[in-house]
Structure 1
Amino acid sequence: MVQLFKTIKICLLLLMHAAAPPLHILIEKTEVIIMQEATTSIASPESYNTMTLTGQGRVMAQPDLAVIRLGVQTDGVDLDTIQPQNAQITQNVLDALQEGGIENIRTVQYTIDKLYDYENGTQVDRGFKVINLMEIRAEDLSGVGNIVDTAVSAGANLIEMISFEASEPSVYYQQALNMAMMDAIDKARTLSRSLRLRTNLTPIKIVESGSVITPPLPYQRELASTPVLPGDISIEASLTAVFAY
């Protein structure tokens, strides 16, 4: 009975050994399978060429806001005299403008400076200069000349500038930016047709170059008469776009 049990045990061991391959063979097959899966899972990147083009857009807008900077300058040896004199004249200008219905006024500069001359290489004290500069913003462009005349009649003797602006320049800039994008796309389309390229007209990269707002020429008192006529404002946008083909 014992002999029979040993015989059966030996037979079972032989069968198990015959059914299972050596351990090192199983490991080698496993490594091959892993390497194959890793190799097939890595996709090679798609290669393509690119073209880099610029686009420009420009919108002309009519200004709807006037910005006027004017004020009072007084000079003299005695600061205690010219400072209150400047204040009184400035108040006269403010009163005259407000009586004319101008309310959007603010002070943008008030300075007291020493005045010097040079005679034979020697610095000579000439007293003081007091400047009180105010800014007026007006939506009625037709009344700009009247504002200037009113201020000058009341004692203003310093006109720094008159500029004309658009109250919402971002609206016009967005239009110019859209035109710049279409300009770049049109260039890409033209080049693709000429060179027979299959180009994706949706850019893979866009870089905005910035905006340029060119106002009308500033008003110069000595070069212009009282009627002040604003010109158009030029608002420009530019960008760089990269297309793949």
Structure 2
Amino acid sequence: MAQRSSAHNHWKPIMTLTGQGQITAAPDLAVIRLGVETTGYNLAQIQSENAQISQMVIELIQEAGNAEVRTADYSIERISQYENGNQIDKGYSVKHILEITTEDIESTGEIIDLAVRMGANVVESISFGLSDPELFYQKALNLAVDNAIEKSQSISGNLRVRIDPIPVRIVEAGHSPSPLLRFQRDAAATPITPGELTIEAVVTADFIYSS
């Protein structure tokens, strides 16, 4: 407990409490990161091979009509390894990573299988999230405020003091990013079943009280 003054009140005792709110929600969005990696000594050749396979993967997914596809990363790297203390040139690696977004959660495994059949050989991750996370966060935020008010009523009753149930100040303790469920690289033919997401909010609230 602390004391604070204001323009309308001289020193008033203040009770500062933390409120927490939490709700769960089923994800309605899947984001898949997969792609094609080709290796070899002829850079132009493996770039061309990578482009052909990547284009087939993109076209097949777009034809399915239930996902958006964009390039997330494209890289060219020299490959080498040490043998008996000597650095040996192993050619090049060309990697094209696609980010596939779909609201059809149940098709996630099928999309991965299609891509792998067309030549995708890198599956980085699968993430499940919410298309409108702010809606759920606001609900959790309201629960956090209610929790702080409930605490003020409980504590004031225990201390036998009178408390104004309307907080004079509320501060969010940071706004967490959209929650995600992540599955790391796994085999395709993949029955993928996401669980529920937990959305949390935390506030600190100041209440005026009197004896």
TM-score of the aligned structures, taking structure 2 as reference length:
0.88
What does residue 171 of structure 1 align with? 135
What does residue 79 of structure 1 align with? 43
- Output aligned runs, 1:65-144, within 5 Å: 65-144=29-108
> Kindly tell me: are residues 196 and 156 of structure 1, through their superposed partners in 2, closer, same or farther at Cα, counting changes over 3 Å?
same
Cα deviations across residues 96-142 of structure 1 (Å, max 9, x unaligned)? 22332345111111111111212344433221111111111111111
Gaps in structure 1 of 5+ consecutive residues: 1-42
1:218 aligns with 2:183: yes
- Output aligned runs, 1:30-49, within 5 Å: 46-49=10-13
Counterpart pick for 2:121 among 143, 146, 157: 157
Secondary structure of residue in 2 paired with 1:155: coil
Question: Contact 1:203/1:243 (CA < 8 Å) preserved in 2?
Answer: yes
Q: Which has the higher strand share?
A: 2
Q: Which has the higher helix share?
A: 1
Higher relative contact order (CA 8 A, sep 6+): 2
Matches of 1:86 and 1:216 in 2, distance apart? 30
1:52 aligns with 2:16: yes
1:236 aligns with 2:210: no
Q: Answer with 1 or 2: which has the greater Rg.
A: 1
Question: Contact 1:64/1:165 (CA < 8 Å) preserved in 2?
Answer: yes
Aligned residues: 202
Question: Contact 2:81/2:90 (CA < 8 Å) preserved in 1?
Answer: yes
Deviation of 1:225 after TM superposition, in Å, equals: 5.2
Matches of 2:129 and 2:145 in 1, distance apart? 25
Matches of 2:9 and 2:134 in 1, distance apart? 41
Question: Contact 2:66/2:103 (CA < 8 Å) preserved in 1?
Answer: no
After the TM superposition, which segments of 4 or more aligned residues of structure 1 sit over 4 Å from their partners? none
Cα deviations across residues 138-194 of structure 1 (Å, max 9, x unaligned)? 111111111111000000001111111111000000000000001111111100000
Amino acid aligned to 2:56: N
Question: Contact 1:199/1:243 (CA < 8 Å) preserved in 2?
Answer: yes
Secondary structure of residue in 2 paired with 1:71: strand
Amino acid aligned to 1:51: M
Aligned-residue Cα RMSD (Å) equals 1.9
Secondary structure of residue in 1 paired with 2:181: coil
Gaps in structure 2 of 5+ consecutive residues: 1-6
